[in-house]
Amino acid sequence: MFGKEEPSPPGPPAEATVESLWEELQVLQAELFKLKKLKRGVKPKVEHAVKLLVEDPKLAQIPIPMIAELIREVFKSYGIPSKCSEPSVRWYLSQFSLEWDIVRRQLPPVRVISDDLKTNK
């Protein structure tokens, strides 16, 4: 009825090794984990937001208190409660300093305006 194709024997292929089967298992587990996260609708974490802000060189002039405020306001705008504070941002920086590629905070450029009347002679 379905043709003369015989089902494959149960078990791994003959050319498979323990290492190749282990690698395939890890890849499949990672895919399954991603699908489970999508299905649950995982909420963003403060940790990920801090990481995004401190690793970007273009944002190096944003001070740590402002990073905490930005995270609170953005989470609030999406209806997600957040109690992110300056100490919590500093804690993430200290805990993940070896794992993250943290950009050193910089002071914004200072513009000096001189109203010196002596130079107008």
Work out the angle at residue 110's Cα, subtended by the Cα atoms of residues 109 and 114, and round it to the nearest 5 degrees.
150
Considering the domain boundaries, does residue 9 fall inside one?
A: no
Tally the domains of the chain.
1
Predicted pLDDT of residue 37: 67
- Stretch 32-53: mean pLDDT, rounded? 78
Q: What is the pLDDT of residues 58-72, one digit of tens each?
A: 888 888 888 899 999
Note down the domain range covering 70. Answer: 46-95
Predicted pLDDT of residue 1: 44
Considering the domain boundaries, does residue 66 fall inside one?
A: yes
C-alpha Rg value of the chain to the nearest Å:
27
| Between 92 and 10, the higher pLDDT residue | 92
23-27, 42-46, 95-99, range with the lowest pLDDT: 42-46
The answer to whether residues 89 and 67 touch, using CB atoms and an 8 Å cutoff, is: yes
